[in-house]
Structure 1
Amino acid sequence: MIGENATVLDGARIQHSVLLPGAFVGQGAVVIDSLVMGKLDTNSQVTNSIIGSTGVVGQNEMCSNASVPAHDPAQKPENFPEKFPE
């Protein structure tokens, strides 16, 4: 599935993956079983991974079974309640 305004350049291969709106997949990049919100540069390879909206996989880099940038469980989203109603 490729979201609106996602960019996929020539020669890129997307298999069993989701590209959210604004994602960028460079020329010759390979994406398998992954979720991409950020940027994959030329000839990068991503497998079984989540690439966040600020995540970048550089040219000729490989990423497997990872989260980029790595998830920090201590980090809370804005407006996250300190306590949930009971």
Structure 2
Amino acid sequence: MILVLEKASAWWDYAWLTFKNPSSSFVEITGYYIDRYASVGAFLRIAPNSSGTLGVQTHLLQKGQQYSVYVTIKGTQALEGPFKVQLPAAESEGT
């Protein structure tokens, strides 16, 4: 894997995934998938030996469930992941 997941959290209609790029070159995330759902375009460029946070829309997903997020990296044919994220239960949002 190119990226290392440092932290995953969720709040309201987004999940936030913070990735570490341990390589010596820039890495560009160009999209993501959540489980079996369609690809969503995204852009996040992470500098060498740095971290970056990707916001993932979760408003159509069932609250209180765990999902697997996969990201696409520019210049590669493979998906990175799965990176697990737990969505909060609906009643705990905003507290």
TM-score, normalisation: structure 2: 0.20
Structure with more contact order per residue of length (Cα contacts < 8 Å, sep ≥ 6): 2
Normalising by structure 1, report the TM-score.
0.21
The structure that is strand-richer by fraction is: 2
